[in-house]
Amino acid sequence: MANSTHLTSMHKQLILVDSHCHLNYPEILPNLDAVLENAKANDIHYCLTINTRLSETDLIKGIAKAYPHIFCTVGVHPHDAKDHDVDTLFATLTDHAQDPNVVGLGETGLDYYYDNSPRDEQIACFDIHLTASKQLNLPVVIHTRDADEDTLARVRQHPDATGVFHCFSGSIDLAKAALDLGYYLSFSGIITFKKADELREVVKFAPLDRILVETDSPFLAPIPHRGKPNQPAWTRLVAEKVADIKGIALEEVAVATTANFFQLFHKAYKIAQ
Ligand SMILES: [Zn+2]
Ligand SMILES: [Zn+2]
């Protein structure tokens, strides 16, 4: 299965994007140069490092500024909604979005599995990101867990917002609804896990022109690295798994997911030129 894809990659240069990682986290930051070199060696040419709390935004913007092939987002994770003032959030997002390396908003969304923040505060925070998506013409990175109905309801309230359901691990129904609303789906190392048969059906179903790949580093290391800190290099294992599931070449997955990334994160496309 992997032989044909490896053969292809020997002939043509692959360009993959890790559309969601957390390069400022302590598992990665002290070794960032080595981590990024390994990414490059595995054909991961670009990374999008994702903001989860505003106290870390300047650090993340600094990383994106230091490396020309790294872009970043600004936003507040649903876990952290309780620590942020919704009254000033829109202005803060707008301010940070003036930075040329800030190409998206989030990650935002709803997490009713952990419920680390009260649900009404998660919703208020999510709504502001969705409003900002339209106002600032930037896509949102959506994190959703055990909150399908409310997530879709909020997205439907903001028909002019765009974005991606990151680390997609939901049902085929959620996938269909997200796609119908114009959103992209991003797949992570979860698709390599043994118990993810239902999710692999979603991968099979999802149109090639609407999917992205990501690691969510340092979390969710794919097989055969489970339990270790994840790193952007392993985006390749996710892309290989997508190729396996869809029965197509790795090269085709790389071309499509990279094009999709730059289509959605259009501000990154300008920087990459
Ligand atoms: Zn997330
Ligand atoms: Zn994340």
Token pair of 100, please? 């040329």
Token pair of 154, please? 């909020």
pLDDT in tens, 74-103: 999 999 999 999 999 999 999 999 999 999
In the predicted structure, residue 8 carries a pLDDT above the cut 70: no
In angstroms, the CA 253 to CA 67 distance is 25
Å from CA of 273 to ligand 1 middle: 28
Q: Confidence class of residue 271 from pLDDT cuts 50, 70 and 90? A: confident
pLDDT in tens, 235-248: 999 999 999 999 99
Sign of CA dihedral 199, 184, 254, 61: negative
Å from CA of 228 to ligand 1 middle: 18
pLDDT at 3: 47
Least confident of 23-27, 35-39, 62-66, 267-271: 267-271
In angstroms, the CA 200 to CA 197 distance is 5
Element (H, E) at 251: helix 250-264
Ligand nearest to the Cα of 111, by number = 1
In the predicted structure, residue 46 carries a pLDDT above the cut 90: yes
pTM, entire model: 0.95
Token pair of 89, please? 């959030």
Residue boundaries of the structural domains of the chain: 2-272
pLDDT at 161: 98
pLDDT in tens, 11-40: 568 999 999 999 999 999 999 999 999 999
Nearest Cα to 243, choosing from 192, 198, 195?
192
Ligand nearest to the Cα of 79, by number = 1
Å from CA of 107 to ligand 1 middle: 6
CATH 3.20.20.140 fits 2-272, yes or no: yes
Q: Confidence class of residue 9 from pLDDT cuts 50, 70 and 90? A: very low
Q: Are 215 and 188 in contact (CB under 8 A)?
A: yes
Token pair of 261, please? 């990334």
Å from CA of 157 to ligand 1 middle: 21
Preceding omega of 224 cis (within 30 degrees of 0): yes
Q: Calculate the average pLDDT of the chain.
A: 95
Token pair of 174, please? 């959620």
**SS3 state of residue 227:** coil
In the predicted structure, residue 135 carries a pLDDT above the cut 90: yes
pLDDT at 34: 98
pLDDT at 273: 78
Å from CA of 96 to ligand 2 middle: 19
What is the percent of the chain with per-residue pLDDT over 70, rounded to a whole number? 96
* Amino acid present at 257: T
Ligand nearest to the Cα of 167, by number = 1
pLDDT at 272: 87
Q: Is 255 exposed, middle or buried (0-12, 13-18, 19+ CB in 10 A)?
A: middle
Ligand nearest to the Cα of 114, by number = 1
Tokens 């490396």 found at: 67
